[in-house]
Structure formats: C-alpha cells, structure tokens
Chains A and B, each alone.
Chain A
Amino acid sequence: MSRGLRTTIAILAVLVVFGLITLPSLRQAIRRISAAQRTEEQARQDVMQVPVSTPSDVNVKAQMYWLSAASPVTLEASTIELPLSADPVERSKQLLVALITNVPSPSQRTLPADAILLAFYLQPDGTGVADFSDALSAETPSGIQSEQLAIDSIARTLGANVNTIRRLKILIHGQEVDTLAGHLDLSGLFPVSSPSAAAAPASVAPDAPATTDDLQSAATTARRPPLASIEQVPQ
C-alpha cells in the first residue's frame, strides 16, 4: 500500500470519527433552531395580534377547522376550549384570531402565522366581512387547493361557532382583491353554514352559553371525515 493511500485512508477515518462524535450535538442544534423559530413566530404574533376579550366572555368548546394531521389536503374539526364572547362580531374575531394563533401543530396551519385580523363586520343580512392584513394574501401557499383550504377553514370555523353568519366576504387590508394568492376568486361571497347537530356532538351549539360540563372538561379533539369543498354564492 502506497504512502499516499495510507494517508487518505487515515484522513477519511479521522473524518468519520469526527462526524460520529459531532452528530448528536448537530441534532441538538437543529432542535434548538426549530424551537427558536417557533418562539419568534409566537412573539411576533403576541406583538401584532391584539387579543380580543369582552365582559361576556365564557369558556366554551369551540370547533376549529385546521388541516388534518393525517391528511394535509383535508380539513378536520378540532374542539378546543376558548373564551368566547356572546356578541357575534367579537366572537368571530376571537375565533379567527384563534384560528391563526392556536394551531395544534405547524403542519396543520391553514392561515399564515403572520396574518392578522384587522377588522370584522357583520351586516344585518348575515354577511360577515373579515378584513385581514396583507400577509394572508402574500404568505398563503399559492395554489387552488391550498387557497381553498384557507378559505374553507375560516368559513367552517365561523359556521360551527357563530349562528348568525350566513355568508363571508374576505378583504385584504380593507380592499377587495381579485384572488387570495393568485388562484381563488375573492370577489364574491362564500357560504357559511352550521354543521348539522349530528355531525358535531362534542361541540357547544353556536352562541350557546357554556355549561358546567363545558367548563370542567378538558379540550378534546374530534375527528371528522374529509370535508367537501365550499362554493361561492351569489350576493
């Protein structure tokens, strides 16, 4: 064996040993960086998204629609305990803020972490108008499916928890925009419907006051079958 070959093998052996020694610390560093990103995201949300609380807030089980952990192309209903107002406008704001900030895991997110609900209005005919910051449009993954899932999650969460909303209009920074992120048409109204009572046995009826059981029980998650697509409705 030549001297050069021996030297190469020795260098390779040293590199392998070095790699094996440093592998655990590399893993730890990756974990630390991931945790730091999550903390940064939370901190940004804490600063930018003002929490909504009202005197009529009562802890209730709210049915929230995020991406399914098992199938990220469908929505899944999760029941979590939230302080919600009796006033439908404030209640809607609380739900939409929670939809952005209380995601069980990053992979289940339907709305961008940076998106902020700027305002919510409810017209007498049951049309809810949700005004989001530019981040909703700029940071929602571009695509028909991903954009539809984002709107679906808003409409279904409102429908499950606020019984006075019939239709939904989305504004971006106070303006009507053509599309959410290049595909889904935001010029029209999206229907908002309450799930049937049979489909939501674990949830409190929309706008219903909390019961003692509601207050005492821990938040639970209920699996639901994949959801059909929502459609827009005429004005």
Chain B
Amino acid sequence: MVVLDPAHGGADQGARGLSGIAESEIVLSFARLLRISLEGQGLRVVLTRQSNDDPSFDDRSKTANAQRGAIFITLHVSSTGQPGTARVYSLPRDAGAPVSGGIGLPRAQLIRWDRAQQGYLELSRKLAELIQIQMAQRFRGSAETPTVAAVRQLRTVAAPAVAIEVSSVSLPDRTQLDKMAPALAEGVARAVAAFRLVYESGAK
C-alpha cells in the first residue's frame, strides 16, 4: 500500500505565491493524479486527506503506521527554487531526537513514536534515490541525487517515507505546475514499482 500525503490543507495553505497559488491545493491535485498512476501499477493507495482539511502530523503518520508494509510519500510545493524542478528528501540518521527525552516505557520491542522513522532510514533513502532519478529524467535542472533533511512529517512514520518538493508557488500561474503533474505521477509510480521489488524481497 502507498500512503500519499498532500501536505497542509484547511487554514494552513502552506507556501503561497504572489499570484495566489496555494501549496495545499496543488499537492492535492498531484496526489489525486498520482493515485491513479499507482493504482495502475496494481497498488492500493490511501490519501491522508481527500479535501481541504488539515490532519495533524501525527494523524497523517497514523494512516501509514496502521498499515503493514506501507510506503509513505508526502507531497510539497516550495516557495523558492528553480521552477519546474523536483527534489526528493529522506530523513537523516538520528534526525529529530527530542531534547526532552522519552517517557520511560520499557525499551524492549517498543518503537518510540517520535523516532519511528529511524528503523526505515536505509529503505527511505533507497526510495528517495529511485524517485529522484525519475524526477531528474523528467524535470530538467532537478538534482540527480536525493537530499537529506529533517522533514518533520517523516519523523513519525514507521515505514519507508520520503518527501517530494516541487518548485514553486512563485510561478505566475499554476499552469506550469499542472503540466508537471502527469510526469510527476508517472515517474513516482515507476520508482515505487521498482522499490517494491527491493522492499518486498527484504520483507520476506
């Protein structure tokens, strides 16, 4: 199963361009199209939001953490960066360790919610690589290798998880972003199909 997370929503529009482009609207469109492409690969797809609402970071993570063998992809549009490019992020090692520490639960077999991603970093990096290669092929100027960043949404996901950020809301209108959507969906679907081979063979 693939959990698609159109970031932001509701009162939180995310990045907003001078022309009125809102990140929350664009990513929902991306997610809907990506869903079709992934279902075309025979995958089951769940969206963390279907409309203009704003689940919390933890609620979005819960959608993935409740599934066995899920893949989590959070979708974003940046405020900055070279328009027409896409960048893929995974979490760095030991990211997001809280300063305040844990609550003293027995350690054996328990995964701390706030560090749920730590067990999946290598798989997430692999997924990010596969998607970034597809993005570089489709969107000129995109990096060829993924980036690590402490993306908050990824920290609490207990599954391979990446963020994709497309540039940018600074475009004069959303036409160029809409034009990117089919290629983005196709590229991600191909990468996820390739990743399934790695993921499922490792899970056996």
Q: Is A235's CB under 8 angstroms from B78's CB?
A: no
Q: Is B97's CB under 8 angstroms from A143's CB?
A: no
* Residues of chain B in range 106-131 having any CB-CB distance to chain A below 8 Å: 114
The residue in chain A whose Cβ has the minimal distance to the Cβ of B87 is: A145
Report how far A188 CA is from B91 CA in the complex, Å.
13
Most buried by A among B14, B76, B79, B149: B149
Q: Is B149's CB under 8 angstroms from A141's CB?
A: no
Q: Is B80's CB under 8 angstroms from A145's CB?
A: yes
Report how far A190 CA is from B87 CA in the complex, Å.
21
Contacts of B95 in A (CB 8 A): 185, 188, 231-232
Contacts of B151 in A (CB 8 A): 144, 183-185
A126 → B minimal CB distance (Å): 14
The residue in chain B whose Cβ has the minimal distance to the Cβ of A151 is: B150
Chain A contact surface mostly = loop
Contacts of A142 in B (CB 8 A): 14-16, 23, 79
Interface stretch (choices A35-43, A174-182, A205-213, A215-223): A174-182
Is A115 among interface residues, defined by CB-CB distance under 8 A? no
Q: State how many residues of chain A have any CB contact under 8 Å with chain B.
A: 27
Is B8 among interface residues, defined by CB-CB distance under 8 A? yes
Q: Is A187's CB under 8 angstroms from B15's CB?
A: no
Q: Is B152's CB under 8 angstroms from A179's CB?
A: yes
* Residues of chain B in range 58-110 having any CB-CB distance to chain A below 8 Å: 76-82, 87, 89, 92-101
Report how far A141 CA is from B81 CA in the complex, Å.
11
Of B94, B147, B168, which one neighbours A229 at CB under 8 angstroms? B147
If A141-B15, A143-B168 touch, whether A185 touches B94 (CB-CB below 8 Å) is no
If A73-B80, A141-B15, A234-B94 touch, whether A183 touches B99 (CB-CB below 8 Å) is no
B105 → A minimal CB distance (Å): 18
What is the size category of the interface that chain B forms with chain A? 35 or more
Of B81, B99, B153, which one neighbours A235 at CB under 8 angstroms? B99
The residue in chain A whose Cβ has the minimal distance to the Cβ of B8 is: A182
Q: Per-position contact with B for A141-164: 1 when CB-CB < 8 Å, else 0?
A: 111111010000000000000000
Is A169 among interface residues, defined by CB-CB distance under 8 A? yes
Contacts of B77 in A (CB 8 A): 143
Q: Is A183's CB under 8 angstroms from B97's CB?
A: no
If A178-B57, A182-B8 touch, whether A144 touches B149 (CB-CB below 8 Å) is yes
Q: Is B97's CB under 8 angstroms from A233's CB?
A: yes
Contacts of B149 in A (CB 8 A): 144, 148, 184, 229
Is A95 among interface residues, defined by CB-CB distance under 8 A? no
Enumerate the 4 nearest inter-chain pairs by beta-carbon distance, A residue then B residue, closest first. Answer: A231-B92, A143-B78, A141-B79, A234-B97
A-B contact pairs, 5 of them (CB 8 A): A73-B82, A182-B12, A183-B153, A189-B97, A235-B101
